[in-house]
Amino acid sequence: MRIHGAGCCLIDSIYMHCSYESEAFTALWSKERGDGGLIEGGLVFTEDLEKFASTSHHQIINSLSGGRQADGKNLGGPAVVSLVHAAQILADKHVEVCFYGAVGNDSNADLVRNTISKTPLHAVLKSVEGMSTPTTEVFDDPSMRKGKGERSFINTIGAAHAFSSQDLPPSFYDADIILLGGTALVPGLHDEMHEVLKKAKENNCITVVGTVYDFRNEKESNTGRWPLGIQPSYPYIDVLVSDEEESLRLTGTNSVEGAARALIEFGVGAFIITRGALPMLVWSRGTLIEKTSQKTMPVSAYMDTLMEKDPSLRKDTTGCGDNFLGGVLVSIAQQMGKAELISMVDICAWGAASGGFACTYHGGTYLEKESGDKKKHLLPVVQAYLGAVRSERCV
């Protein structure tokens, strides 16, 4: 089996224990859509924030961080982190997992390659001379969302500007599952994603798409709705994973229920709308994933209980969504060929467990001490989730 993916790959610099109520942050919060200011739980581009603040990137980071160094640097991005996770969990199944993306010719590119080399993931990286490796500064305030934490992001696209569908060779489509993750931070690929997904379906691939905050279209879209490709991509998507804010922006609606109705009308095969610590909203047409009426599914109570009992386990929420997406890939891969239709409950179990476990370490990428290390930690979480769901059905 092969899982191939393309999209966002970058280096995260994570600043812990920030206060969004501090003077440095309140001066930079966005006042209106697309103005370039910081977005709580969202992402803004470096150059736009510089214009908004009338100061340099360096000065902005120095102000927000209080002059301290980042607490950690890690491999991030919805595509590469999801694929690392899938490669780690599926290592004993001999599944080939490969990422296609772009880096610059700098020390961060070395960090990307070095980190990937410590995982089972294969990577085909386009090296772009004269451009920097994509980066994101992540500012984490653990007091937000009733103590669950929130993050805000400042992104430099860099070499991702030079990557498009033309950089995906024919071998990319020689896969059972194709992932496009966080393509909004890879503009050329994002605009052409309908072509990639259409070709993937023509090659009988299962298509999974994970979204990320699309600041480019937040400030440029004339319709008020973020596009997924310059032509609609939804009919070619088997499973769409999006958080609540992203789903509202993609559909131009003002409620998660309205977003769900719109996504169904757009023609997506199935969707999962994550809502942080709140229950996720799921639905499936019944073509690949078992037919599922629109309903909510819980997050991982097991992980919440574990971290409540031992608060030292809680690190940060960076990469929770990316690992959730990786869990979706794992579930689909493990179920393929075993039943006529794939279980939505199992997908939610692996997604919720994977996202919840990501709270127990810094950054999105988990580096295993030995092969199977991460899977060993996750299996009890998945089983607890499935047991809890079955119990609810029996009540």
pLDDT at 58 exceeding the cut of 90: yes
- pLDDT per position as a tens digit, 356-372: 999 888 888 999 999 99
Domain enclosing residue 249, as ranges = 2-7+78-125+164-390
Which of 323, 372, 370 minimizes the C-alpha distance to 92?
Answer: 372
- pLDDT per position as a tens digit, 75-133: 999 999 999 999 999 999 989 999 999 999 999 999 999 999 999 999 999 999 999 99
Say if 15 falls within a structural domain.
no
Tokens 């030079």 found at = 162
Average pLDDT over every residue of 367-379: 96
What pLDDT shows up at residue 394?
Answer: 52
In contact, 140 and 40? CB cutoff 8 Å: no
CA dihedral 70, 326, 392, 260 (to 10 degrees): 90
What pLDDT shows up at residue 257?
Answer: 96
* Burial call 24-56: b when 16+ CB within 10 Å, e when fewer: bbeebebeeebbbbbbbbbbbbbebbbebbeee
Say if 181 falls within a structural domain.
yes
Say if 270 falls within a structural domain.
yes
- pLDDT per position as a tens digit, 315-338: 877 789 999 999 999 999 999 988
Share above pLDDT 70 across residues of the chain, in percent, rounded to a whole number: 98
What pLDDT shows up at residue 390?
Answer: 83
Quick count: other Cβ atoms within 10 Å of Cβ 309?
8
In contact, 81 and 319? CB cutoff 8 Å: yes
Q: Poorest-confidence range of 213-222, 279-288, 334-343? A: 213-222
Burial class (CB in 10 A: 0-12, 13-18, 19+), 305: exposed
Say if 64 falls within a structural domain.
no
* Max mean pLDDT range (146-150, 222-226, 253-257): 253-257
pLDDT band at 226 (very low <50, low <70, confident <90, very high): very high
H helix or E strand, kind and range, residue 156: strand 150-156
CA distances in angstroms from 24 to 19, 50, 304, listed in the order given: 9, 14, 31
CATH number of the domain to which 309 belongs: 3.40.1190.20
* Burial call 182-208: b when 16+ CB within 10 Å, e when fewer: bbbbbbbbbbbbbbbbbbbbeeebbbb
What pLDDT shows up at residue 220?
Answer: 83
**Which is it for strands 278-284 and 239-243: parallel, antiparallel or unpaired?**
unpaired
Average pLDDT over every residue of 191-195: 98
Say if 280 falls within a structural domain.
yes
Structure-model confidence comparison of residues 138 and 362, the more confident one: 138
**Which is it for strands 2-7 and 177-181: parallel, antiparallel or unpaired?**
parallel
Say if 53 falls within a structural domain.
no
Say if 116 falls within a structural domain.
yes
In contact, 129 and 109? CB cutoff 8 Å: no
Number of domains making up the chain: 1
Say if 210 falls within a structural domain.
yes
What pLDDT shows up at residue 23?
Answer: 96
Quick count: other Cβ atoms within 10 Å of Cβ 297?
20
Which of 354, 329, 345, 328 minimizes the C-alpha distance to 390?
Answer: 345
